[in-house]
A and B are shown apart, each in its own frame.
Chain A
Amino acid sequence: MNGWRTGVLSAIAVSVLAISGAPQDAASSELPRDSYYQLDVTLEPHAAGLLRLADLQGSPVIVAMFYASCAHVCPMTISTIKAIEAELAAEDRDRLRVLMVTLDPERDTPAVLAELADRHRVNNDRWRFARTSPEDVRLIAAVLGVKYRELPDGGFNHSSPILLLDTTGRELSRSEKLGLPEAAFVREVAAVIQNQVGLPIPGRVP
């Protein structure tokens, strides 16, 4: 058990993918009303099986958007998150999950994303690079407050916030700074991880 709840989805997942992110279903009714996991979207990650956003509950999560062929800012987003991780104590780091959602689902197949994960030598227990349906990309971007537009050359203009979500998918903080991590942001990551220790099943706390 590495904290990524997968395998819940089987044949159903295929049909879920076809439906774009309508809010709410029975499974998410226990989430806080302001949880980002209320967005019912299915992700296709670089490793393991399909994932719904709501499956992320239980761990603090860092989430950002990117695309694999991006030459400048996206690698910096990845290295910034790795730098945040590096500042955490080992036992804290183990409890953190990182979700990177691509803006370019057509090109960024799970194979491309797996290659990217290898290249950046991220920890596959904690990190997921993932794509979703093209319609759901804009939905996720709207929820996360990411602005982006596709360019004729296949690239994207986009803003690059790094968001910290609590165990129930509520946004606690965001950082727009790339490169050296913001000290305040790192402190918040550490705090949310440490505050979760010893709580009953996260995500079900009223």
Chain B
Amino acid sequence: MRQYARLVLAALMLVPAAGLAAAPPADIEAGLLQSVLPLTESADAVVIEHFLLARRPVTNREFLAFVTKKPEWRRGAVLPLFADQNYLAHWEGDLTPGEATLAEQPVTNVSWFAARAFCEADGGRLPTWHEWEYVAAADETQRDARPNPAWRQKILAWYSETGGKTLPEVGRRAPNAWGVHDLHGLVWEWVDDFNALLVSGDNREQGGADKMKFCGAAAATMEEKENYAVLMRTAMLSSLSGDATTRNLGFRCAYDVQEE
């Protein structure tokens, strides 16, 4: 087994670097975001600080390198607390993604805990929901394309595609105005504060019980209700627990900027 792991390592090192070396993350300028999930009912804009965001979701190849270095995150070893039974279920074995899995496909079937550990090992972190939403508001030319109905329709069209197709490889679609690929149209993505998106059924259904369950102001109010695509994401993410994995949920990392 150990010998096999060494073989895999060797194979990883033989992969030609050209074209596969991760491009440096995109530089995301500070700005204001009118979020679909404002922090208060007054719906003030959210301040987004300067940060870096990976241009592509993490791939099977990158995740294999991670679990090769970190045995505790292999499928056969991961604690049930940190990943459910479907963790990396599409891989053949702990260190063998298998022939049906493409190296440059986004890795999926990964839990929030595993995604967070990957980014931490990479010197980064998961983006916050607001950071993700800020960058995902861009189309190919504009940083905030959300008022554009054609763009919204294009995104919605992806959500209505049926599942079961082979996942495309990362970076195949044109980047957005920030130089970031695949925020829409490929996979759903974990955010660090997935458990901050208080829009799940369990608190909405309680009606008057909200105040019993939530400190401070009422639970998040959703603005811009026409922005269904992004709202679907928040609803989906907030329905998950940190150990959850699904076939179309992956992640990308963010990095803090070392200010001079």
Q: Which residues of A contact B (CB under 8 A)?
A: 20, 22-24, 33-36, 38-39, 67, 70-74, 76, 138-139, 141-143, 145-153, 155-160, 176, 178-179
Contact residues in A for B218 (Cβ distance below 8 Å): 157
Select one of A23, A71, A147 contacting B79, CB under 8 A: A23
Known: A72-B215, A73-B215, A160-B215. A147 touches B200 (CB 8 A): yes
Residue in chain A with minimal CB distance to B194: A142
**B18 lies within 8 A of chain A by Cβ:** no
Residue contact A74 to B215, C-beta cutoff 8 Å: yes
Interface majority SS on B: helix, strand, loop or mixed?
Answer: loop
Contact residues in A for B200 (Cβ distance below 8 Å): 147
Interface majority SS on A: helix, strand, loop or mixed?
Answer: loop
Residue contact B212 to A158, C-beta cutoff 8 Å: no
Bound: A142/B242 CA distance, A: 6
Residue in chain B with minimal CB distance to A28: B79
Residue contact B215 to A157, C-beta cutoff 8 Å: yes
Residue in chain B with minimal CB distance to A155: B216
Q: Which residues of B contact A (CB under 8 A)?
A: 39-40, 44, 72, 79-82, 112-113, 116-117, 120, 192-193, 195-198, 200, 203, 211-220, 238, 241-242
Residue in chain B with minimal CB distance to A148: B196
How far, in Å, is B201 (CB) from chain A's closest CB? 12
Residue contact B215 to A156, C-beta cutoff 8 Å: yes
How far, in Å, is B171 (CB) from chain A's closest CB? 29
Contact residues in A for B217 (Cβ distance below 8 Å): 151, 155, 157
Contact residues in A for B196 (Cβ distance below 8 Å): 147-150
Residue contact A73 to B213, C-beta cutoff 8 Å: yes
How far, in Å, is A140 (CB) from chain B's closest CB? 10
Bound: A35/B117 CA distance, A: 19
Bound: A77/B196 CA distance, A: 20
Residue contact B215 to A38, C-beta cutoff 8 Å: no
Known: A24-B79, A159-B213. A138 touches B241 (CB 8 A): no
Residue contact A151 to B40, C-beta cutoff 8 Å: yes
How far, in Å, is B85 (CB) from chain A's closest CB? 12
How far, in Å, is B249 (CB) from chain A's closest CB? 15
Residue in chain A with minimal CB distance to B111: A142
Residue contact B195 to A148, C-beta cutoff 8 Å: yes
Residue contact B39 to A151, C-beta cutoff 8 Å: yes
How far, in Å, is A81 (CB) from chain B's closest CB? 15
Residue contact A151 to B216, C-beta cutoff 8 Å: yes
Output the residue of B116, B213, B238 with the most chain A CB within 10 A.
Answer: B213
Residue contact A152 to B215, C-beta cutoff 8 Å: no
Residue contact A157 to B241, C-beta cutoff 8 Å: no
Residue contact A23 to B72, C-beta cutoff 8 Å: yes
